[in-house]
Structure 1
Amino acid sequence: MSARRRDSLGQVAGADGCPGGWICIVLDRITSTVTPLLCRSSEELLTIHPEPSVLAIDMPIGLPDSGDRDCDRIARMLLGPRRSSVFPAPIRPSLAAVTQQGADAISRAIVGRGVGAQAWGLYRRVLSLDRLIGPDEQTRCVEVHPELSFLALNGDQPLPHSKHSPEGVAARRALIDNAFGPEAYPSVRKAIAPREATDDDLLDAMAACWTAYRIAEGTAHRIPANPPTDARGLRMEMWF
């Protein structure tokens, strides 16, 4: 076994989109060291060194040609008061559009649902990941939703307050402190400029990293249990 492979077995990571690109939180499972990385592109995110054994990404991986994904539907059911945080995954045909208006027209024609500005803002990242991740890469690169991670951190109970509210921020910070230790978040915040990643970006990425750790340990959950695949053979699933 190479030195690089031995090193990577101890590394897991979680990533969330942010103003600076991607905020990636790397956890060394052997030393419990937490390292934040700011990746400017999806290519940079997927080639960080040493390569983590699990990279949990808060972005759709595996896209339907029409309709909704089962994993999105189940996630909304589990999250209850936080169900609105689960946006419908783009349908694959709409990724060919070069403008929001074009994506909106394609989506309305196929599923009767438009593409708003917030959803369109995610398309570039969704498309870049779709070009880089194939079925073979799904053994390492997995889709997560931070609110599902926080649900698991909170004893399988959805958090009652939005992550944008003071109460919601405090609750998520307390869960992250309990999972990583009280010194972890301040060190991450100190290392990453607020203009590059907001507080909720960092908390979401740390929650994703915690799920990556659970996957590596064999204690994570997947929805649905037997996920369907899309036209490219990608499994449409979420882990938490």
Structure 2
Amino acid sequence: MNARWVAGVDGCPGGWIAVLLDTSDAHAPRVTVQTRFSDILELPEDPAVIGVDIPIGLPDTLVGHGRACEVAVRRHLGPRQSSVFSIPARAAVMETDYRKACAVAAGHSEPPRRVSKQAFHLFAKIREIDLLLREWSRLQDRVFETHPEVCFLHMNGGKPASLPKKIKSRVNPAGLEERRGLLRAAGFPSDFLDTGRRPPKPAAADDFLDACATAWTARRILDGQAVCYPDLPPRDAFGLEMAIRA
């Protein structure tokens, strides 16, 4: 059987961590860290679908508690819903200064909302993918937004993970082990998951697990089994779909 690869990607310090899965199961999964997201598109595996934990599609004005996809998935995540940030309007994401980003976000939201520091730290990576997808529109059928905690929810029969990955910004070993168990039950080899305890630097163990989860969803997208939040996603001013798949 010919190999057909998918990739799951998560941002990490200095770049992106990608887990590659051969959907024919002829080859073992592998992990790599790349400086640029575009480098993942050029890997020899040539992944047919890439699931990435980064917002795609930015509103001109943020109304309420976030994009429709963010609001939709939070309803199912229970104690894990705080992991889904509200991404502000496009104009705010384009700012590189935190104070300016907060001011612009407040002026483009109803009611006025500032930007969380966690969301601001994602802006550079959001801009990187946004520019790529707008420049190469054909990639919109290949690169999809997902979210690890929503992936784990679907791996776990519709129940969110019971333990957090981090407590007060520190890794929670029990939370990571819970997610390893879900990935193992979903078909990831134990030896591969064990190597991810020390993934390629500068990625961390939780980055690796998140990339595995998004790879699981990338395979579901390729197979036509993924769930889309919301069912009929809107598009932004550049035609980018605002949806989270799992």
With normalisation by structure 2, the TM-score equals 0.89
- Please give the secondary structure, in 1, of the residue aligned with 2:190: coil
**Corresponding residue for 1:101?**
99
CA-to-partner distance for each residue in 1:63-94, whole Å, 9 max, x for gaps? 11111211000011011111100001231011
Supply the RMSD in Å over aligned alpha carbons: 1.7
Whichever residue aligns with residue 126 of structure 2, its letter is V
Task: Answer whether contact 2:146 2:244 (CA < 8 A) is retained.
Answer: yes
Q: Tell me the matched-pair count.
A: 232
What is the rounded CA distance, in whole Å, between the counterparts of 1:218 and 1:78 in structure 2?
21
Aligned to 1:27: 21
Distance 2:184 2:74 in 1: 26
Q: What does residue range 41-60 of structure 1 map to in structure 2 within 5 Å?
A: 41-60=36-55
Identity of aligned residues (%): 38
Q: Which residue of 2 aligns with 1:192?
A: 200
Deviation at 1:167, TM superposition (A): 2.6
Unpaired segments ≥5 residues, structure 2: 167-171
Tell me whether 1:183 sits opposite 2:191 in the alignment.
yes
2:96 matched to 1:88? no
CA contact (8 A) 2:9 2:17 kept: yes
Q: Which residue of 2 aligns with 1:11?
A: 5
Deviations 1:22-75 (A, max 9, x none): 000001112151110111112223332332110000000111111121100001
Q: 2:169 is matched with which residue?
A: none
1:195-222 CA-partner distances (Å, limit 9, x unpaired): x111110000000000011111221111
Task: Tell me: CA distance 1:190–1:84, structure 2 relative to 1, closer, same or farther (3 Å).
Answer: closer
Q: CA deviation at 1:181?
A: 2.1
Question: Which ranges of structure 1 fall in alignment gaps of 5 or more residues?
Answer: 1-5
SS at match of 1:133: helix
1:131 paired to 2:126: no
CA distance in 1, matches of 2:82, 2:199: 31
